[in-house]
Amino acid sequence: MIQSLLIANRGEIACRIIRTARRLGIRTVAVYSDADANSLHVRQADEAVHIGPSPARQSYLIGERIIAAARATGAEAIHPGYGFLSENAAFAQAVIDAGLIWVGPNPSSITAMGLKDAAKKLMADAGVPVTPGYLGEDQSADRLQAEADAIGYPVLIKAVAGGGGKGMRRVDAAADFADALLSCQREAASSFGNDQVLIEKYILSPRHIEVQVFGDSHGQVVHLFERDCSLQRRHQKVIEEAPAPGMDEATRQAICAAAVRAAQAVDYVGAGTVEFIADASAKESGGLRADRIWFMEMNTRLQVEHPVTEEITGVDLVEWQLRVASGEPLPKKQGELSINGHAIEARLYAEDPVRGFLPSPGRIDRLSFDHHARVETAVEEGDTVSSFYDPMIAKVICHGADRDAARLGLLRWLDSSFVGPLRTNKPFLHACLAMPDFAEGRLDTGMIERQGEALTAIDGPSDRVLAAAGQHFRREWQGKGLFGFRLNAAPKTSVDLFVDGRPVVAEAKSSELRTGLCSDMERDGTIIVTEAGQSWFFSQTPPVKAGGAAASDGAILSPMPGRIIAVAVAKGDRVAKGQKLVTLEAMKMEHSLVAPFDGVVAELDASEGGQVSEGTLLVLVEREEG
Ligand code: ADP
């Protein structure tokens, strides 16, 4: 067994890997950038090595620095986690060439799955069903058009080198094909340096189903059943679960067997995931049918959502990775693996659903996580969610005897945990889990988009929330003999409070909502009331700090350092809720800053091309009175 391990990653996955390594008695080495000098993964590891400045390109993505760190600390093996260098075949090879153990598949397996057309051909040859389509060498416009006509519309044009949802075009009619092809080829050439495309049948009512596979260096491959990751927003997973709702035993056996064949075809070693797309339009048996599920791609690493598989199988997948990398055989045979109950995972992000899911990094002043669920996180109260990396705060995983028990457990967690003052997607996750279609297991990848604003709308604290907050303070003041005493007048029942920095008047009434205390209660007397996943912070005095959530009502602050690429409004303009104000380019992505409510642009401090730092006031929107 490996004695020492370097983890070439950060955040929750680094902490997750350290936990298992420690249990197995393995010494751990963390690596960190400037921004992560005080991060939890650094605090938890036995040793830590600084590898460069905060941007990942200058630290976590520099393979030589990571290998040098392993050499300097005498680490025997490198675990890449997910993201960063985890699917970089050249890095995997460099690790092996340096005489270190790579906790992952052979570099040749990573390469074989790298290009979509090559991977699909390989899978078709191995007898794995692939999405119907054209993978040919002939890339002439006439031939591609003829193939699309033969497949039948709608079709999807995909760049063979594409990834991250880029380089894809849906075409609904033959007349639109030529234009879509040109634009897809242009994007593919500029983004991936390769303008080759393939054409696929566009699957209607698609469900994303993936199978966890595991191989060892002795030629054994098993599967650990499927996960359903259909609840997506812009092709990004939001909620994941295992097993897939509505999956019957015959269909399960068919796709799990196909996944094992896929892994065997590339001599797979370690943890991998074979992703399938299912046409869930059939009404019978939850919509899933073995002859309507097709291979999409293989991810040659541990997935973000691996904990749901761990919860239903009782297997620690990181332990298996470390054992297999040490040369041990798989700890269990296929027949020894079974599904126990149901598990659902929700990804809690520092992002603001009300403002188009804009990242909302910042310091976590208040955090309390309910312990009745598995929480994978790398932050504690007082830590900062950095603007340099993915703004995930935690993954929350609930296991139950059946799907509804897991779902209700997660809903309860969202109502009994809080994190602030940064904005989070907690109320959005609550709304997703509460959707009747989701509750009944009717899923497809388009359902979040179809709901529009219904999943993100938040009007303000409800009467129930205000009553609970008012009642709390009234009791407290009555205890001190301060409340409601007025000469010659009826006792007062309303309480003047601040919620998220704004003044409100709360009628003190009994309410079934519970009030929670912030951990620094003694300092400023803040209390918290949560309803439908949305946590409201109430205080008697306005928060001292400017900026952040306190001033953010109509104040549009730059959420991270970046460059203004468009200003869509002028001072004095009347704007509608959701209207685009300013577009910021940061972390290689465009972020639209939108009006939080109907109002008037009272201040504008943004010009096209300007560089802005985090927290700069760009626009102030004021509500129109009356
Ligand atoms: P990428 O590598 O860019 O992530 P994928 O091939 O994995 O691209 O597809 C990403 C997502 O696009 C899938 O999760 C699914 O929601 C959708 N998708 C992919 N192929 C099809 C298809 N043939 N029909 C309908 N939707 C598809």
- Using 50, 70 and 90 to split pLDDT, how confident is the model at 516? low
Quick check: 494 and 508 in contact, CB under 8 A? yes
The more confidently predicted of residues 478 and 331 is: 331
115 close to ligand 1 (CB < 6 Angstrom): no
265 lines ligand 1 (CB under 6 A): no
The DSSP bridge pattern shows strands 270-279 and 374-377 to be: unpaired
Grade residue 185 by pLDDT with cuts at 50, 70 and 90: very high
- Domain 4-103: state its class: alpha beta
Long-range CB contacts (within 8 A, 24+) of 599-603: 599/554, 599/574, 599/575, 599/623, 599/624, 600/572, 600/573, 600/574, 600/575, 600/624, 601/569, 601/570, 601/571, 601/572, 601/573, 601/575, 602/554, 602/571, 603/571
Would you place residue 537 in the very low, low, confident or very high pLDDT band (cuts 50, 70, 90)? confident
Residue 588 banded pLDDT, cuts 50, 70, 90? low
The reported pLDDT for the residue numbered 166 is 80
Ligand 1 pocket check for 203: Cβ under 6 Å? yes
User: pLDDT confidence of 519, banded at 50, 70, 90?
Assistant: very low
Helix H or strand E segment including 308: helix 306-313
Question: Which tokens go with 348?
Answer: 């809690």
297 Cα nearest atom in ligand 1: 7
Alpha-carbon distance values, 621 to 38, 502, 568, 595, 602 (Å): 36, 15, 14, 7, 6
How many angstroms is it from 453 CA to the middle of ligand 1? Answer: 24
Res 489: pLDDT:
63
CA of 297 to the centre of ligand 1 (A): 9
Asked if residues 33 and 62 have their Cβ atoms less than 8 Å apart, the reply is no
Taking 50 as the threshold, does the pLDDT of residue 72 lie above it?
yes
Question: What is the 3-class SS of 57-125, one letter each residue?
Answer: HHCCCCHHHHHHHHHHHCCCEEECCCCCCCCCHHHHHHHHHCCCEECCCCHHHHHHCCCHHHHHHHHHH
Give the neighbor-by-neighbor strand order of the sheet with 155-159. 133-134, 197-201, 155-159, 168-171
CA separation for the pair 580, 591 (Å, rounded): 10
**CA 361 from chain center: how many Å?**
14
Class in CATH terms, 345-453: alpha beta
Nearest CA to ligand 1 atom 9: 165
pTM, entire model: 0.86
Of the candidates 292, 301, 423, 474, the residue annotated as catalytic is: 301
- What is the structure's pLDDT at 62? 97
Digit-coded pLDDT (tens) for 505-514: 888 887 777 7
- Tens digit of each residue's pLDDT (9 = 90 or more) over 602-617: 999 999 988 888 778 8
From the CB of 278, is ligand 1 less than 6 Å away? no
pLDDT tens-digit profile of 23-42?
999 999 999 999 999 999 99
Pick the atom of ligand 1 nearest to 232's CA: 16
Between CA 529 and CA 538 the distance in angstroms is: 8
Contact criterion met (CB below 8 Å) for 356 and 54:
no
From 130, 191, 203, the mutation candidate for ligand 1 (largest count of ligand atoms within 8 A of CB) is 203
Nearest to 331 by CA among 271, 400, 420: 271
Atom number in ligand 1 closest to CA 204: 25
One-letter amino acid for residue 235 of the chain: H
Give the C-alpha distances (Å, rounded to integers) separating 605 from 140, 585, 591, 616. Answer: 50, 16, 17, 9
Sequence-separated (6 or more) residues with CB below 8 Å from residue 481: none
Report the pLDDT value the prediction gives residue 486, as an integer from 0 to 100.
60
Token pair listed for 334: 């296929």
Locate the ligand 1 atom nearest the alpha carbon of residue 229 and give its number: 14
Query: Does the domain spanning 551-622 belong to CATH 2.40.50.100?
Result: yes
Q: Is CATH 3.30.470.20 the right assignment for the domain spanning 208-340?
A: yes
Thinking of the domain 132-201, which architecture would CATH place it in? 2-Layer Sandwich (3.30)
In this structure, the residue with its CA closest to atom 22 of ligand 1 is: 202
- Ligand 1 proximity of 235 Cβ (cutoff 6 Å): yes
pLDDT > 80? residue 341: yes
Per-residue model confidence (pLDDT) at position 549: 39
| Catalytic site includes residue 234 | no
* Interval 290-339: pLDDT, tens: 889 999 999 999 999 999 999 999 999 999 999 999 999 999 999 999 99
- The predicted model gives 183-204 an average pLDDT of 92
Confidence at 483, pLDDT banded by 50, 70, 90 = low
Q: What is the pLDDT of residues 247-298, one digit of tens each?
A: 999 999 999 999 999 999 999 999 999 999 999 887 665 678 888 999 999 9
- Report the pLDDT averaged over residues 413-428: 93
Range among 330-339, 492-501, 590-599 rated most confident = 330-339
Cα-to-centroid distance, 243 and ligand 1 (Å):
21
Please report the atom of ligand 1 found closest to the CA of residue 445.
16
How does the average pLDDT of the chain come out, rounded? 90
Identical topology for domains 4-103 and 345-453: no
pLDDT for residue 517:
60
Q: Is the CB of 471 under 6 A from ligand 1?
A: no
Q: What is the pLDDT of residues 429-445, one digit of tens each?
A: 999 999 999 999 999 99
pLDDT in tens, 201-222: 999 889 999 999 999 999 999 9
Residue 478 reports pLDDT greater than 90:
no
- Sorted by where each begins, the domain ranges of the chain are 4-103, 132-201, 208-340, 345-453, 463-539, 551-622
For residue 374, give the nearest of 471, 279, 306 by alpha carbon: 306
Residue 550: per-residue pLDDT? 36
Determine the angle formed by the axes of helices 317-325 and 306-313, rounding to 10 degrees.
Answer: 100
pLDDT exceeds cutoff 80 at 473: yes
Measured in Å, residue 405 CA sits from the centre of ligand 1 at 30
